[in-house]
Amino acid sequence: MLKCGITGATGVLGRRIIKKLPYKFLIFKEKIENYKKVKKWVNLNKFDIVLHLAAIVPTNKVNKNYKKAKSVNIYGTKNLVKAILETSNPPKWFFYASTSHVYPSTFKKKKFSEKDKVKPYSQYGKTKLGGEKIVEKNFKNKKINFCIGRIFSFTDKNQKIPFVIPGLISKIQYTKQKQLRLSNLNHYRDFLSTEDIALAIKILGKHCKKGTYNIGSGKEINLKNIAKIIAKKYKKKISFEKDNKPTFLISNSSKLKRLGWKPKKFKNSINYFYSNA
């Protein structure tokens, strides 16, 4: 069984990966900003692979304390990369969990590929792109196979507010209004379940793939439609404020799909997102 070092194991995605993937997980339980702790963890364990998921993700938290987000998302990544380069037993494969936020959100219906220019549309995206650059710059000419996974939107039963779907569920399920009026939902996004993402990482690791891979369904869904699905489930009436032009952030994941990865197809039910709970 492969020995897998993992950071960010307590997050929604980390917990799903530990539950689904057949590795012996060695969990980093300290603060990623503490280089001494990171170095000690790396040196004490002979990892076959490392999955680096640790990050401050919610955009509102990143915006509220950008300095802290940079410390975790950028300098924490730098600490881990440095510790791996200095160890006498480096892993054979390193996975960095990045985000679709490194791409610009666009008013045009477009699927972003790994070859498209990056231009982060959020502060969170800026921090993750900073991490990407550290990984690529330091591992590019080394024997370590590194993989950057740009993960598009996802949800999970264990995901909490302020993420989009949990937020909508809470707002719709517990409203006491006869008709709830929603706004700022005219956006098309590319959703996966966390089980889809875990499978993608498993396939990438099996082939020790190097470089950047989009992890997204390639299918757009309007957030208004998700709200309608939730409203139907809880038998609530909703309407929408007049919105501006729609925005799009959709993946071209053909590179990943050529490896045999196939995400679940969206069904007209909120249970699609939570079927892997």
Q: Please provide the DSSP assignment of 156-221 as one string.
A: -TT--TTSHHHHHHHHHHT--SSEEEE-S--EEE--EEHHHHHHHHHHHHHTT--EEEEES-S--E
Q: Has residue 205 been placed in a domain? A: yes
**What pLDDT score was predicted for residue 272?**
61
Residues 206 and 171 in one domain: no
Do residues 106 and 136 both lie within one domain?
yes
- Residue 172 tokens read as 């719709």
DSSP annotation string for 100-150? GGGSPPBSS--EE-TTSPP--SSHHHHHHHHHHHHHHHHHTTSS-EEEEEE
Q: Say how many domains are in the chain.
A: 2
- What's the token pair of residue 167? 């937020």
Does 102 reside within a domain? yes
Cβ neighbour number for residue 107 with a 10 Å cutoff = 10
Helix (H) or strand (E) holding 250: strand 247-251
Give the pLDDT confidence score for residue 11 in this predicted structure: 96
In a domain, 110, yes or no: yes
Same domain assignment for residues 184 and 195: no
> Is residue 260 assigned to a domain?
no
Q: Which domain holds residue 92?
A: 3-154+191-215
204 and 234 belong to one structural domain: no
Residue 148 and residue 240 in one domain = no
Q: Are residues 145 and 47 in the same domain?
A: yes
In a domain, 259, yes or no: no
For residue 254, the tally of other CB atoms under 10 A from its CB is 12
| Residue 8 belongs to domain with CATH number | 3.40.50.720
Q: What is the mean pLDDT of each run of 10 residues along the chain (277 residues)?
A: 97 96 97 98 96 96 97 98 95 97 94 97 97 96 91 91 92 91 94 94 96 96 93 92 91 98 75 53
> Is residue 196 domain-shared with residue 241, that is, in the same domain?
no
pTM: 0.95
103 within a domain of the structure (yes/no): yes
- Residues 16 and 141 placed together within one structural domain of the fold: yes
Q: For position 276, what pLDDT does the model report?
A: 42
